[in-house]
Structure 1
Amino acid sequence: MRPYILAETNWKALKDAHFDLAVLPWGATEAHNYHLPYATDVYESDSLAAESARIAWEQGGKVIVLPTIPFGVNTGQSDIYLDINLNPSTQLAILTDVVTVLNRQGIKKLLIFNSHGGNNFKPLVRELGLRFPEMFLCFSNWFQSMDKTEYFDNEGDHADEMETSLMLYLKPALVLPKSDWGRGASKGYKIKSFAEGWVWAERKWSEISEDTGVGDPMKSTKEKGERYFTDVTRKIGNFIFELCKADQDDLYE
């Protein structure tokens, strides 16, 4: 039993406990090229959040990791079989209920631990922050926490070298043999302004990628995944500890 993982602990341990921070991992259920499981984002968020919390806990951070939400925003993948979509309004409803419980029970800090690029929590955090001013709400994108070019050769953002390497380290039995991997070739918009980042429109996934991947995974290795996992969780674990100890009335300098 890990005392910082809600799904593993029990009422005997919790009835007199107090936590300073709750962490809510949030993944997605979607195709990840031919070779990675649909729950890739869930496995990643489970493992990364748990290890980050362990690092914070062993420094004295009072953190509790909530069970992972397994579905994310997949509105651009409606025609890809069994990609499960939660609309942003549904996410807001779920978050509202979770925040209501935490607020009522005296846990005034929440970190949404995002593991899916299609999830956009900024407007949700803005709205909930106005409704629950006594709560400190934030979210992280662990896949943006480190410079990926220091770990991986090929760029990508879905079932790419980074995700494949992570899964080779975390769940190797669920990764198909390399002969089954797609190349992750993808198309961009013909209108160049979209690539410049100041204009955005949702991509229709089945039209930009043949195998649902975006990024060539062929140079992926377990060793790359382990090194990246170690560095990401160390950085986030130290952040979680800082957040646990932070005074909500003294956050700025």
Structure 2
Amino acid sequence: MIRPYILAETNWKHLKNAKFELAVLPWGATEAHNYHLPYATDVIEGDFIAAESAKIAWEKGANVIVLPSIPFGTNTGQSDIYLDINLNPSTRFAILSDIIEVLNRQGIYKLMILNSHGGNDWKSIVRELGLKYPKMFICVTNWFKSLDKNLYFENSGDHADEMETSLILYLKPELVLPKKEWGEGKEKKNKIKAFSEAWAWTERPWSQISEDTGVGNPKAASSEKGEKFFKDVCEKMAELLIDISKADTNDLYK
């Protein structure tokens, strides 16, 4: 069945007289995720979360359209990891600028970037494009920060960890290698205290901080945990889609 809120599936017959309030752009990455998860992990997560969230919002009256995902992200810290595909921030800026130009020209003045990769830093890009396109309301969401992961998972991490492994076990189990193949996701911390405390920042050279490219022990992952987390993330994201779709962006503050 055609999902009318998914641009890649709908058609000109339905769109020629359509009017959407909000466009959603999932943006992922193509990169190694420990030994056991697919390179498209971030894309799969973004695709499924965007589609399910939009479905919930659409059925509650939100006029949203999900654009096709961008499958590549910024992977400058993983330049020596085989076939990790990097888009420099300036390239992401150019791609996003062209997409916003289309939306702005066609009267869709609200855009949500549904970010699905921690290496995609958006603030400076959105600030500059917001100045260039003053009619546009541009926002960024990081679905992986939308809930307290400690309520769902035993082990912390931020890459191919228990959370991501659980999600892919639920969404695409056929793409997950057997558990005996999973790396432990041990992370080497920066010896300089300020960076480990996260009030100072420098990019992590991935091959130096992780032997298996994972950060976070995935061993306790399960499809059941992934299902619960996925559904709760999508419910929360759908609420935001509804709120943005119906909001007067010139009257957001009180």
Please, which runs of 5 or more residues in structure 1 have no aligned partner?
A: none
Shift of 1:196: 1.6
User: RMSD in angstroms over aligned alpha carbons?
Assistant: 0.4
Q: Structure 1 counterpart of 2:114, which letter? A: F
1:229: which partner in 2?
Answer: 230
Shift of 1:87: 0.2
> 2: CA distance between counterparts of 1:157 and 1:89?
24
Q: Which runs of 4+ in 1 moved over 6 A?
A: none
> 1: CA distance between counterparts of 2:86 and 2:250?
37
Normalization by structure 1: what TM-score? 1.00
> 1: CA distance between counterparts of 2:198 and 2:205?
17
Q: How many residues align?
A: 253
1:94: which partner in 2?
Answer: 95
SS in 2 for 1:235: helix
Deviation string, structure 1 residues 11-57 (Cα, Å, up to 9, x no partner): 00000000000000000000000000000000000000000101110
1:143: which partner in 2?
Answer: 144
Deviation string, structure 1 residues 135-168 (Cα, Å, up to 9, x no partner): 0000000000000000000000000000000000
Normalization by structure 2: what TM-score? 0.99
Shift of 1:195: 1.6
Q: Structure 2 counterpart of 1:128, which letter? A: L
> 2: CA distance between counterparts of 1:79 and 1:208?
13
> 1: CA distance between counterparts of 2:33 and 2:250?
42
Shift of 1:218: 0.1
1:241 aligns with 2:242: yes
Q: Structure 1 counterpart of 2:101, which letter? A: T
Deviation string, structure 1 residues 219-245 (Cα, Å, up to 9, x no partner): 000000000000000000011011000
> 2: CA distance between counterparts of 1:190 and 1:197?
12
Q: Which moved more, 1:195-204 or 1:9-18?
A: 195-204
Identity across matched positions, percent: 69
2:83: which partner in 1?
Answer: 82
> 1: CA distance between counterparts of 2:94 and 2:43?
20
SS in 2 for 1:123: helix
SS in 1 for 2:25: strand
1:160: which partner in 2?
Answer: 161
Please, which runs of 5 or more residues in structure 2 have no aligned partner?
A: none
1:65: which partner in 2?
Answer: 66
1:186 aligns with 2:187: yes
